[in-house]
């Protein structure tokens, strides 16, 4: 995203230049408008619902911008993407949506680009790899809103009792899992390849095997030699040895794996920052290390981002830009990140977090973010490809599973979906 120099950014800030000026048109003649935002809920109860975060932010924004009102509707992650899709289909698009994917809407010409909305200093503050992931045809439409990376969590008590150290390679992970199994641990390594989030666990293992979903030029390469080798190893050396517990990986969802970890039933699993709070509440002592690779640390950590986007249908580009500049201030980005144990999406907030002693545990995830690899979210085909992976990948590690066949099928479906788009 931001390939500008710091000097240019500073100069733009000093001059007070804003890209939103260029967006002003006949629909922007009055600033007396009510903006609508549909957003995802990151809370796990009414007490910490994202509605509370947005209500507080909007109240402060409206006090400073009396001509602009903002109405925010928050929905669960299981509903929010579908809700926005239905609204757009009915010709009732919200002004803004904070959801999981943007590429389809961008490809259909329904979104404002980031430069049409944001001031230059705000646009330039996004972390580069996140803003680049928000691009379609080299233009940024998806504005990162929340980010996380994944680390390997391990149960410190189980490891210390068994005299184990955190693994750095696949062989060490397997050896540790064998020891834990011999000591009666129910799930030495939790491998959630169930339909909830199989695409995430899959990607982490593909990266640890030296490849990923795409090749170096961004073309789907799901059935690469490295990826087949990775799933052959998982089938034979982890699942085949009974090191992943009694529930077949294809039936194990992330939420159930996390819950088992907080009960002390899991030795190791890949997790994101929210697992820290969940485990701490249950009194589970845990450690976190980078995902082991086939012969050392994985090629890259997996990064995940959720997206803010703005629809053209109602106009209001200037007012949307004013609101989003406020949303992406360092103070507000940090407030959201702290509330939900997520990583900041801006350089300024990331720098502040890395310097804050109270953020020591999040800093471990933060260190992984600059070199992390994200899903290929800029592809309009990704939503369907991800859905296919969720439904099929668990079959690859069954007793008679054929990774080459399953990955080959996923590759063919991905290529077809890409060509259709």
Nearest to 148 by CA among 290, 337, 277: 337
User: Do 74 and 194 sit in the same domain of this protein?
Assistant: no
Cα–Cα distance, 405 to 228 (Å, whole number): 9
Cα–Cα distance, 278 to 88 (Å, whole number): 36
User: Which pLDDT belongs to residue 421?
Assistant: 67
Say if 11 falls within a structural domain: yes
Of the residues 353, 374, 395, the one at which a domain ends:
374
Predicted structure pTM score: 0.81
* 48 band by pLDDT with thresholds 50, 70 and 90: confident
Tell me, what CATH number does 168's domain have?
Answer: 3.40.190.10
User: Do 284 and 401 sit in the same domain of this protein?
Assistant: yes
Say if 115 falls within a structural domain: yes
- For residue 405 the two structure tokens come to 């066949």
Strand ranges (E), 328-369: none
H helices present in 143-197, as ranges: 156-161, 170-182
User: Do 277 and 401 sit in the same domain of this protein?
Assistant: yes
Contacts (Cβ under 8 Å, ≥6 apart) of 236: none
Q: How many domains does the chain have?
A: 2
Nearest to 84 by CA among 38, 127, 50: 38
User: Do 385 and 337 sit in the same domain of this protein?
Assistant: no
User: Do 142 and 157 sit in the same domain of this protein?
Assistant: no
130-180 pLDDT, tens digit per residue, is: 999 999 989 999 999 999 999 999 999 999 999 999 999 999 999 999 999
Say if 70 falls within a structural domain: yes
Say if 58 falls within a structural domain: yes
Cα–Cα distance, 242 to 311 (Å, whole number): 49
State which H helix or E strand residue 305 sits in: strand 302-310
User: Do 312 and 260 sit in the same domain of this protein?
Assistant: no
Dihedral angle sign, alpha carbons of residues 273, 50, 307, 87: positive
The mean pLDDT value of the chain amounts to 90
User: Do 200 and 328 sit in the same domain of this protein?
Assistant: no
Cα–Cα distance, 365 to 360 (Å, whole number): 10
Say if 1 falls within a structural domain: no
Give the single-character DSSP code of 48.
G
Examine the pLDDT at 281 and tell me if it is beyond 50: yes
User: Do 19 and 84 sit in the same domain of this protein?
Assistant: yes
* 31 band by pLDDT with thresholds 50, 70 and 90: low
Mean pLDDT of 104-127: 96
User: Do 334 and 396 sit in the same domain of this protein?
Assistant: no
Sole residue written with tokens 């959201």: 336
Q: Residue 249's domain spans which residues?
A: 151-300+381-420
Examine the pLDDT at 75 and tell me if it is beyond 90: yes
Q: Which residues of 155-166 are buried (b: 16+ CB within 10 A; e: fewer)?
A: beebbeeeebeb
Q: Is there a contact between 110 and 89 (Cβ–Cβ < 8 Å)?
A: no
User: Do 284 and 160 sit in the same domain of this protein?
Assistant: yes
Say if 57 falls within a structural domain: yes
**CA 251 to the chain's CA centroid:** 22
User: Do 344 and 416 sit in the same domain of this protein?
Assistant: no
Q: Is there a contact between 293 and 285 (Cβ–Cβ < 8 Å)?
A: no
The CA-to-CA distance between both ends of the chain, in Å, stands at 23
Q: Is there a contact between 149 and 275 (Cβ–Cβ < 8 Å)?
A: no
User: Do 115 and 258 sit in the same domain of this protein?
Assistant: no
């Amino acid at each position: 995203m931001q390939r500008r120099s710091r000097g240019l950014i500073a100069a733009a800030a000093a001059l007070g230049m804003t890209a939103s000026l260029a967006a002003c048109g006949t629909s922007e003649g009055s600033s007396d408008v009510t903006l609508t935002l549909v957003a995802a809920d990151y809370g796990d109860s009414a007490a910490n619902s994202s509605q509370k975060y947005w209500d507080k932010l909007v109240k402060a924004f409206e006090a400073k911008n009396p001509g602009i009102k903002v109405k925010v509707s928050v929905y669960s992650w299981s509903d929010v993407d579908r809700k926005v899709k239905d609204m757009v289909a009915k010709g009732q698009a919200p002004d803004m949506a904070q959801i999981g994917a943007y590429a389809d809407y961008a490809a259909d010409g329904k979104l404002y680009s980031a430069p049409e909305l944001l001031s230059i200093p705000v646009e330039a503050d996004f972390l580069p790899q996140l803003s680049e992931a928000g691009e379609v045809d080299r233009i940024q439409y998806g504005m990162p809103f929340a980010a996380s990376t994944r680390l390997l969590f391990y149960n410190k008590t189980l490891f210390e009792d068994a005299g184990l150290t955190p693994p750095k390679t696949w062989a060490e992970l397997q050896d540790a899992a064998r020891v834990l199994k011999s000591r009666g641990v129910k799930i030495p390594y939790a491998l959630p390849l169930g339909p909830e989030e199989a695409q995430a666990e899959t990607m982490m293992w593909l990266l640890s095997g030296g490849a990923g979903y795409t090749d170096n030029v961004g073309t789907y390469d799901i059935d690469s030699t490295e990826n087949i080798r990775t799933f052959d190893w998982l089938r034979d050396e982890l699942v085949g040895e009974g090191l992943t517990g009694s529930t077949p990986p294809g039936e194990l969802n992330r939420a159930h794996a996390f819950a088992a970890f907080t009960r002390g039933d899991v030795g190791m699993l890949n997790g994101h920052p929210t697992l820290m709070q969940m485990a701490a509440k249950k009194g589970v002592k845990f450690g976190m290390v980078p995902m082991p690779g086939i012969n050392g640390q994985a090629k890259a950590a997996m990064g995940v981002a959720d997206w803010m986007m703005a629809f053209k249908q109602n106009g209001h580009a200037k007012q949307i830009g004013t609101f989003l500049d406020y949303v992406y201030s360092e103070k507000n980005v940090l407030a959201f990140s702290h509330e939900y144990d997520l990583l900041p999406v801006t350089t300024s907030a990331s720098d502040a977090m890395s310097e804050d002693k109270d953020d020591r545990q999040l800093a471990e995830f933060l260190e992984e973010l600059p070199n992390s690899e994200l899903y290929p979210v800029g592809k309009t085909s990704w939503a369907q490809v991800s859905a296919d992976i969720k439904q099929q990948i668990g079959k690859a590690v069954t007793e008679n599973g054929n990774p080459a066949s399953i990955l080959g099928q996923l590759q063919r479906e991905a290529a077809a979906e890409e060509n259709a788009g």
